[in-house]
Amino acid sequence: MNLHNYILGRWTPHEGAGIPQYDAVTGEVICTASSDGLDFAAIADFARQTGSPALRRMTFQERGRMLKALALHLNEIKEKYYPLSYRTGATRADSWIDIDGGIGTVFAYASLRRKLPDTPWYVDGEQAKLSREGTFIGHHLMTPKPGVAIHINAFNFPIWGMLEKLSVNLLAGVPAIVKPSEITSFLAEAVVRDIIASGILPQGALQLICGTGVGILDPVGPQDVVTFTGSAETGRMLKTLPSIIEHSTPFNMEADSLNAAILGADAAPGTPEFDLFIKEVRREMTAKAGQKCTAIRRIIVPEPMVDAVQEALARELVKTAIGDPRAEGVRMGALVNREQAGEVRRRVEMLSAHTPIVIGDLVEFEVIGADKNKGAFFAPIVMLNEKPFHFQDSHSVEAFGPVSTIMPYRSIEEAVELANMGKGSLVSTIATFDENTAREYVFGTAPYHGRILILNRESGKESTGHGSPMPLLVHGGPGRAGGGEEMGGLRGIRHYLQRTAIQGHPSMITAIGGVYQQGGRQTEAAVHPFSRHFEDLFIGETLTTARHTVTEADIVNFANLSGDHFYAHTDVTALEGTPFETRVAHGYWVLSKAAGLFVQAKKGPVLLNYGLEECRFTKPVYPGMTIGVRLTVKEKTAQEKRDETDVRKGIVKWLVDVYDETGETVAIATILTMVKMREQ
């Protein structure tokens, strides 16, 4: 079978013989893949001219709902991918990480729409006041790049590696060209076929190259974004291509690294932390047969515990049944192909010159349900580096399989130094119940790591583990790990957006950004805005309320009602040395009174108070002062119905400006209400 490339809106068979893709268990040829003869410039232009305008017209809310629909669709049919995944050597548990993990990431990014506006762009951060009178301000606008994201992915996670990147660029409004590894692209192709057939994505939003993709980066420009996952050597080569350098094209690199796990000196045998440490190392060595960019390659333990760790790890690894992922009892499958197995063997032989193998064997091991000589099977291997500061290959040579090295340390300072000798890692773990040890390790190693897991008895039960990047946290690391960041929630979206400083009058910035800017034009509401449906409210619509003169009784009554008898509100004899002239009103009374002034009591489209986003008390309020409120529509975000019984509604953000008789603001807040839409 020949894999097809999905380009220019159609599935296209490849030219030539193609690259064979093998079943990791049987060694049989599954299919061939090729990108020979493809016009990468035309493919990129199709994404920019067709996919980009369609996505850029959509709001963040629409893109988020598109991702939700895609995640639901893939989740319904995900079982069809498992038999294909087994052919990569992955067990059911391994495949779950790739398949369900990938779909889960799409769900996570779909949910992020709730933190974004109902516009194709958004204003970021706070307003910058650039003039005395407030008629000239600045803000930052985040707009989707009108280019294409080119994703070059590794062989180990054909589905997760693709979906975790696509989730981010699609929510941002940027189309993608996906180039999975030519070793396992048969699995990525199966998923893309279902995505395209669903019709959920607009034309041009996704294209797929199943072959080597040589030349895919030649047509990149300044509005494009390139992401790469794979070896540090290949990543450095791609990063220095003339096309990347000439256009300063953003290049996000996530490379394999020599991640470490550190056993704290307090985590002696018999403690929960020791047991968690051994379990974590075993899992990271055997999950995906160690073919993970986050796998533990260096096991750094207190010198007196080396023997105990070696013995405990040997007991655990001997339980790891190797074989056909479909066979009962198998806990570890094969490497991706025999060529990769040969490369891992060469790396082990290189390392074992100074760090002998103490657990496992390169030749003598049993395989269940398969022929060891046909599949790409490899036994877990643990080596021992008794002089890790002298024999430094352990910190620079990576065997990308079920291989790790134990090394001793004498102090936490040495443990930090050893961890950092990896010259930049995606993740490290420290197992300790001692807060001082954890603090010293984290501060010492954080600049060299993208993520640090602190593992102990309190977090162990619910910990997602050393090797699991989470959608809302960054995945990446400095130095050897590539210096890039993936995912990270909203942080990841910003990789595909251009931040532009915009300056002008608050009214103009309001009109451009779709969010009311303080000092901008306010249009007095003809009727109470709480009597208006979501669609009828407009940004800048303002209600100016009646005013109220503050009394001492207001303050005393609120103190009794709330139980807040702080001295500044109740004891005028205790104010010497404070900023207050006399008894001062509670800030929360000011906010509560403001609500009493602007709320309309009778039933209307406003369903409920959804929360308070910002609140500052900017000036003391004393008895005798008179306060009023300007309530302004600041921002609107429509919400989809949960089900057929749900009402159509949206969230409205209101700027609450509480001012005194001089016109000066005494409190400023942003409140949120849920407001019904009109019946269709």
Domain match, 370 and 445 both: yes
Cα end-to-end span (Å), the chain: 51
> What is the per-residue pLDDT across 210-223, written as a single tens digit (0 to 9) for each?
998 899 999 999 99
Residue 35 DSSP symbol: -
| 3-state SS string for 274-292 | HHHHHHHHHHHHHHHHHCC
| Paired tokens of 335 | 């490497």
**What does 533-586 look like in DSSP terms, one character per residue?**
-GGG--TTEEEEPP-EE--HHHHHHHHHHH----HHHH-GGG-TTSS-SS----
Q: Which amino acid is at 249?
A: T
- Closest by CA to 417, choosing from 265, 300, 266, 273, is 300
Q: What pLDDT shows up at residue 125?
A: 84
Domain count, the chain: 3
| Angle 384-390-391 from CA coordinates, rounded to 5° | 45
Bridge partners, 230 (sequence order): 255
Using the 3D structure, point to which of 447, 479, 498 is the last residue of a domain.
Answer: 498
Residue with tokens 């008794």: 386
User: Which CATH number characterizes residue 36's domain?
Assistant: 3.40.605.10
**Location of structure tokens 């805005």:** 529
Tell me which H or E stretch contains 186: helix 185-198
> Does some domain include residue 133?
no
Judged against a pLDDT cut of 80, whether residue 15 lies above it is answered with no
The C-alpha atoms of residue 127 and residue 138 are separated, in whole angstroms, by: 6
pLDDT (0 to 100) of residue 535: 92
pLDDT higher than 90, residue 594? yes
Shared domain for 626 and 654, answered yes or no, is: yes
H helical segments located in 91-241 = 92-111, 160-172, 185-198, 232-239
DSSP string, 60-115: HHHHHHHHHHHHHHHHHHGGGGHHHHHTTT--HHHHHHHHHHHHHHHHHHHHGGGG
679 CB neighbour count, 10 Å cutoff: 7
Query: Is the model's pLDDT at 16 over the cut of 80?
Result: no
Calculate the CA dihedral of residues 224, 196, 119, 150 and round it to 10 degrees: -10
Query: In which domain, by residue range, is 462 found?
Result: 259-469
Give the single-character DSSP code of 47. Answer: I
pLDDT-derived band at 604 (thresholds 50, 70, 90) equals confident
Residue 452 domain flag: yes
Element (H, E) at 7: strand 4-7
Has residue 139 got a pLDDT over 90? yes
Q: Per-residue pLDDT tens for 545-566?
A: 999 999 999 999 999 999 999 9
Residue 283 neighbours by CB under 8 Å, 6+ apart: 465, 466, 467
Same domain flag for 379 and 455: yes
Domain for residue 45, yes or no? yes
Q: Are residues 241 and 266 in the same domain?
A: no
Residue 476 forms part of a structural domain: no
Kindly report the CATH number assigned to the domain that includes residue 438.
Answer: 3.40.309.10
Q: Does some domain include residue 537?
A: yes
Residues 426, 575 within the same domain: no
Average pLDDT, the chain: 92
Q: How many other CB atoms are found less than 10 A from the CB of residue 618?
A: 11
Helix and strand numbers, DSSP H then E, in the chain = 19, 28
Res 331: pLDDT: 92
Indicate if 225 and 274 belong to the same structural domain: no
pLDDT given at position 631: 95
Give me the active site residues, please: 254, 293
| Confidence band, pLDDT 50/70/90 cuts, at residue 407 | very high
| Same domain? 153 vs 86 | yes
- Each residue of 231-277: pLDDT tens digit? 888 888 898 999 999 999 999 888 888 999 999 999 999 999 999 99
Residue/partner pairs of 122-128 with CB below 8 Å, 24 or more apart: 122/60, 122/513, 122/515, 123/509, 123/513, 123/514, 123/515, 124/499, 127/506, 127/509, 127/517, 127/518
Provide the b/e sequence for 424-457 (b: ≥16 CB within 10 Å).
Answer: bbbbbbbbbbbeebbebbeebbeebbbbbbbbbe
Q: How far apart are CA 466 and CA 326, in angstroms?
A: 26
Report the relative pairing of strands 626-639 and 541-544 from DSSP bridges: antiparallel
Contact between 206 and 148 under an 8 Å Cβ cutoff? The reply is no
Which CATH number belongs to the domain containing residue 603 in this structure? 3.10.129.10
Residue 52 and residue 171 in one domain? yes
Residue 92 in any domain: the answer is: yes
Euclidean distance between CA atoms 633 and 402, whole angstroms: 58
Please tell me which of 78-87, 230-239, 598-607 the model is most confident about, judged by mean pLDDT. 78-87
Question: Are both 306 and 412 inside the same structural domain?
Answer: yes
59 shares a domain with 117 = yes
Span 20-34, pLDDT tens digits: 999 999 999 999 998
448: closest CA among 348, 265, 298, 245?
Answer: 298
Residues 579 and 450 grouped into a single domain: no
- Confidence grade of residue 436 (pLDDT, cut at 50, 70, 90): very high
In the chain, the percentage of residues whose pLDDT exceeds 70 is 100
Residues 551 and 587 both lie in one domain = yes
Residue 574 belongs to some domain of the structure = yes
Give the CA distances from residue 455 to residues 50, 277, 278, in Å, rounded to whole numbers and listed in that order.
47, 8, 11
Mean pLDDT of 642-669: 91
Residues pairing with 639 in the sheet = 649
The pLDDT assigned to 579 comes to 87
pLDDT of the residue at 41: 95
Q: What percent of the chain is predicted at pLDDT more than 90?
A: 74
316: helix, coil or strand? Answer: helix
Strand bridging mode 497-504 / 176-179:
unpaired
Looking up tokens 């007196």, which residue turns up? 304
Question: What is the predicted pLDDT for the residue at 132?
Answer: 87
What pLDDT, on the 0 to 100 scale, is given for residue 74?
A: 97
The neighbouring-strand residues paired with 4 are 13
Distance separating alpha carbons of residues 605 and 631, to the nearest angstrom:
17
167, 159 Cβ separation under 8 angstroms? no
Q: Is residue 429 one of the residues assigned to a domain?
A: yes
